[in-house]
Structure 1
């Protein structure tokens, strides 16, 4: 059983010809079956294209810059804003009516004054807090399951 040139294969299967069993086997061996794994090296240029793609670490780093951190809190929460990051936005969605405040001190309102947020309504806070050093951000007033999305730069 051998791999054959495409023109040789075509000649065996011309109208009126009856290919031999060996010729049929050679024809089958000359093509990939859909159940077979196709080696990357068999696809012209694929390896060089794959080598230009970013690593998983690079992708995760980029995603961390764009996607929010998701916090599912059931009580007051302390978030650490890492040094060199800016707290850009906070989206708070409580499951019950809540009065929430956010500060850089426990119980403080330096980031968001005490605000009433209705159950299942998203409250969006745009912020301009920058952390020179790691900084705690206190989210107070959480009394029910609450989703908090933190966007930072």
Structure 2
């Protein structure tokens, strides 16, 4: 039973007394929240559902490695042109940076292998310096806790410097 809202509102105006049938018609005109709304009563549902993709087609799309390859970069960047790469570099603010990774011709750039070699050389130099610092620390260790022997040496050097200036 479908009673228009205007009719229901007229039954409940001030001074009006709705009948039992009008009360029943009022409640039957609406869907109770505990009851599901029938699909045929949802306006535009068919059109809404038609705008969704079929679940099988969607799963196939997810598995397609070439999906959106005309718009997005593939994981292996196999679909990028030099223009795409330049655009990405400009957008990322790295257009003026060198990115040579695969050639022995370095020019003003270095390959990752060469850079790793430089880093290894610096690490080795750092280890050597650490060993020399350790040796110096051992030499500076003294049994003379008051450091009076060291002070005597310093005083001697100062006196020798004064004598040489004269």
Q: TM-score range by the shorter chain?
A: 0.3 to 0.5
State the TM-score, normalizing by the size of structure 2: 0.36
Greater radius of gyration (CA): 2
State the TM-score, normalizing by the size of structure 1: 0.39
Structure number with the higher strand fraction is 1
Query: Which is bigger in relative contact order (C-alpha 8 A, separation at least 6)?
Result: 1
Structure number with the higher helix fraction is 2
